[in-house]
C-alpha cells in the first residue's frame, strides 16, 4: 500500500514537472517578443535619422526613453504580482504592449516615437520580472539555474533577433510594418497564454501589497551585503552590455558600410549562445557555483567589446558579437538566481532587479551616446577596459556565492 502511494506521488510530481517547464517556455516567449521590440530599433537608427530628418545621435535617445521607463515601471508591477498573482500582471502588460506597439507604426515624427516608446516601456514592464518571480515560486534554488537559463536564453534571443530581424524586415517591409508584425506576434503569444492560464499556480504565501511595506522591503534587501553587492553588479553589467550593443548596428553600418540586410545578418550571432547554451550554463552554475562563472562571463564580455573596437575583419567582428552575447548569458541569469533568494517576497526582489537592470540598460545606452564623439571604436575599447576592471572586482564580490 505504501509502495502504491509512493508510485502515485512520483507520477503526480512528474506530471506537474512537465507542464512547469512548458510554462517556462511559454512565459519566456512573452519576454522574447518584448525584448525583440525593445532592441529592434537600434540597427535602423541611420534609416530613422534620414526619414525624420534628425541626427543619428538624436534618434538614439529612443532607446534610453524605452529602457528607463521600463525599469521604473518594474518597481510597481513586480510587488503587485505578490498580491494579485503573477499571471494577471503578465496578461495586463501583454495587452498594453500589443496595443502601444501597434500604435507606434502610425507616428509621423521622431518626438511622437520617443513618447510612445516611453509609454511602451511603462506598460510592458510587468512581463519579464513577473516571469522571473514565477520561476522563483516554482523551482527550488538548486534547480532554478536551469529554468532561469531557459528564460534568459529567450531574452537574449529576443535581443538578438530583434536587432537582426528588425533590420532585415525593415529593408523589405518598412519600419511601420515592423511594429505591426511585432504586435501581431505578441497577440498570438497572448492567446497561447490565455489557453494555458489554468496551469498557472500562484504562491499563496505572498503578503498583501502596500506601498509602505514595499518600500521597507526594498530598503531591507538593499541593506543586505549580499543584496547591494549583487545589485551593483547588475547595474554595472547592464550598463556595459546595453551601451555596447545599442551601437553595434551603427558600428557595422559605419565601419563595414553594410545596408540594413547586412547589419541584420552581422548581428545574428547575438543571442544564439543563450538560446543554445543558456540552460547548460545554468546547470554549470548550479553544479560548480556562480562565484566561478560570473567573473568569467564579465571577462568574456569585456574582451569582446575591446576586440570589436580594434575593428578587425567583418567575420571576426561577427564572432565577437556572439561572444559578447555569451558574456551576458554567463552573468545576468546567475545574478537573477542569487536575487530570488534575498527575500520571501520574490516579487519585490525581482522588481528591484528588473529596475536596476533596465536603469543600467538606459544609462548605458545614454552614456555611450554622450561619449561616442570621442570615436565609435574608442568608445568600445573604453567600455571593454572598464568591464575588465569589473571582472576582477567580481572575483572578490562573489567569492562566497554558490
List of domains in the chain: 21-197+204-397 (1.20.1250.20)
Per-residue pLDDT reduced to its tens digit, 146-173: 777 788 778 877 877 787 777 677 777 8
Neighbours of 210 (CB within 10 A): 11
pLDDT band at 393 (very low <50, low <70, confident <90, very high): very high
Given a contact cutoff of 8 angstroms between Cβ atoms, the answer to whether 305 and 244 are in contact is yes
pLDDT at residue 6, rounded to an integer: 42
> What pLDDT does residue 401 have?
79
Rounded to 10 deg, the angle between the 290-309 and 314-329 helix axes is 160
Per-residue pLDDT at 282 exceeds 80: no
Grid look-up 512548458 returns 22
Q: What is the dihedral of CA 152, 154, 156, 162, to 10 degrees?
A: -150
Amino acid at each position: 500500500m505504501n509502495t502504491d502511494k509512493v508510485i502515485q506521488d512520483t507520477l503526480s510530481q512528474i506530471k506537474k514537472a512537465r507542464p512547469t517547464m512548458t510554462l517556462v517556455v511559454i512565459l519566456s516567449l512573452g519576454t522574447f517578443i518584448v525584448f525583440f521590440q525593445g532592441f529592434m530599433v537600434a540597427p535602423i537608427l541611420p534609416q530613422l535619422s534620414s526619414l525624420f530628418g534628425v541626427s543619428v545621435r538624436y534618434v538614439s535617445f529612443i532607446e534610453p526613453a524605452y529602457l528607463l521607463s521600463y525599469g521604473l515601471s518594474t518597481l510597481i508591477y513586480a510587488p503587485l504580482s505578490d498580491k494579485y498573482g503573477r499571471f494577471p500582471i503578465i496578461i495586463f502588460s501583454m495587452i498594453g504592449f500589443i496595443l502601444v506597439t501597434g500604435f507606434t507604426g502610425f507616428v509621423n515624427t521622431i518626438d511622437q516615437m520617443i513618447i510612445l516608446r516611453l509609454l511602451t516601456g511603462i506598460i510592458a514592464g510587468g512581463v519579464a520580472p513577473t516571469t522571473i518571480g514565477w520561476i522563483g515560486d516554482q523551482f527550488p534554488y538548486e534547480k532554478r539555474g536551469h529554468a532561469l537559463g531557459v528564460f534568459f536564453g529567450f531574452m537574449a534571443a529576443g535581443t538578438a533577433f530583434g536587432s537582426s530581424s528588425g533590420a532585415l524586415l525593415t529593408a523589405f517591409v518598412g519600419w511601420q510594418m515592423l511594429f505591426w508584425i511585432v504586435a501581431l506576434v505578441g497577440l498570438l503569444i497572448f492567446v497561447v497564454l490565455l489557453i494555458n492560464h489554468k496551469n498557472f499556480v500562484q504562491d499563496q504565501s505572498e503578503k498583501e501589497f502596500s506601498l509602505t511595506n514595499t518600500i521597507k522591503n526594498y530598503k531591507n534587501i538593499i541593506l543586505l551585503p549580499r543584496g547591494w553587492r549583487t545589485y551593483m553588479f547588475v547595474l554595472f553589467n547592464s550598463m556595459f552590455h546595453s551601451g555596447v550593443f545599442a551601437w553595434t548596428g551603427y558600428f557595422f553600418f559605419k565601419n563595414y558600410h553594410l545596408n540594413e540586410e547586412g547589419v541584420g545578418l552581422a548581428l545574428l550571432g547575438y543571442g544564439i549562445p543563450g538560446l543554445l547554451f543558456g540552460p547548460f550554463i545554468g546547470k554549470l552554475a548550479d553544479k560548480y557555483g556562480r562565484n566561478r562563472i560570473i567573473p568569467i562571463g564579465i571577462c568574456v564580455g569585456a574582451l569582446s567589446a575591446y576586440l570589436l573596437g580594434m575593428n578587425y575583419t567583418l567575420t571576426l567582428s561577427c564572432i565577437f558579437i556572439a561572444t559578447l552575447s555569451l558574456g551576458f548569458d554567463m552573468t545576468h541569469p546567475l545574478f537573477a538566481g542569487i536575487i530570488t533568494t534575498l527575500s520571501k517576497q520574490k516579487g519585490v526582489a525581482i522588481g528591484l532587479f528588473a529596475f536596476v537592470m533596465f536603469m543600467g540598460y538606459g544609462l548605458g545606452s545614454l552614456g555611450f551616446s554622450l561619449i561616442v564623439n570621442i570615436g565609435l571604436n574608442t568608445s568600445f575599447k573604453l567600455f571593454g577596459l572598464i568591464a575588465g576592471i569589473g571582472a576582477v572586482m567580481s572575483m572578490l564580490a562573489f567569492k562566497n556565492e554558490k
